[in-house]
Amino acid sequence: MSAPAAGGPNAGPNAEPNAAGPNAGGRAVVTGAASGIGAAIARRLTADGMDVLGIDHRACPGIDHRVVDLGDLDRVTGLAAELDDERPTDVFVSCAGMFEGQASADLDFATYDRTLRVNLHAPVYLMGRFAARMAGRGYGRIVAITSIHARMSEPTALAYDVGKGGLDAAVRTVAIENADRNVLVNAVSPGFVRTGMSIVDGEDELESAWFKDHYLATGRLPTRRAAEPDEVASAVSYLVSGGNTYVTGASLTVDGGLSARF
């Protein structure tokens, strides 16, 4: 039996990625690239040698980008094919997300529905479509930014928890469906990160007395500090790199030990 082609089915650690593979001028598509973690990922992958295309509902400073509302599922349909037809995509990172707090008893269906469209439905659809394109070429890397909310919950975070938990599950399914075509699919699960999402009612919760007393002073957050977006981007950088030849279907937690604490 002849060996599988480089970058093809079941490619091992010595396989070469396709000519446009990661860290060699390949194409990466990053959603949520206008700010926060997504912007940090876009910067890091650019520094890694990739040609990054940002997708966001706002402009993405400093990189090629498309303004797309991922809550508009009619627009999302066909987006992966549109972008991949322009240039084959080697890496897809789903980072776009939103949070609007609501208690379950006060659930507003319109807000719940929009949260799931942005945080779950669009990412799942795009992962599946990009994975299929990558599988046809025998190489690809996909990372979804989920959250420790995928397995830990708090009051008023129902829609966010449901979306992140569902996305974490979808990562596993897409991973096992495409692993034999050298398409590796993983999640990165952050905890507290210094981004705009930590601003609540005009105040930074990471600077609040509540956060400092509840998480830092007590050591409930073992590192006693929140993560910087670049630290999450570092985890993504490895998972989408040519150096990752076997990790798939995994969720890498980047939370400073928060979820390890009893």
Domain-wise residue ranges, the chain: 27-191+228-253, 199-226
pLDDT at 158: 92
pLDDT at 203: 80
pLDDT at 198: 75
Return the closest-CA partner of residue 6 out of 138, 135, 130. 138
Tell the residue number behind the tokens 């790199």, with chain if given: 241
Name the residue type at position 146.
T
Catalytic annotation, residues: 160
Q: CATH 3.40.50.720: does it fit domain 27-191+228-253?
A: yes
Whether the pLDDT of residue 11 is over 70: the answer is: no
Structure tokens, 73: 């599922």
pLDDT-derived band at 25 (thresholds 50, 70, 90) equals confident
Whether the pLDDT of residue 101 is over 60: the answer is: yes
Q: Where are the alpha helices (DSSP H) in the chain?
A: 36-47, 73-76, 79-86, 109-116, 122-137, 158-178, 209-211, 229-239
Mean pLDDT over all residues of the chain?
90
Name the residue type at position 240.
V
Structure tokens, 131: 């994975």
Predicted model pTM: 0.90
What would you measure as the largest C-alpha separation in the chain, in angstroms? 65
Whether the pLDDT of residue 53 is over 80: the answer is: yes
pLDDT-derived band at 35 (thresholds 50, 70, 90) equals very high
Whether the pLDDT of residue 5 is over 50: the answer is: no
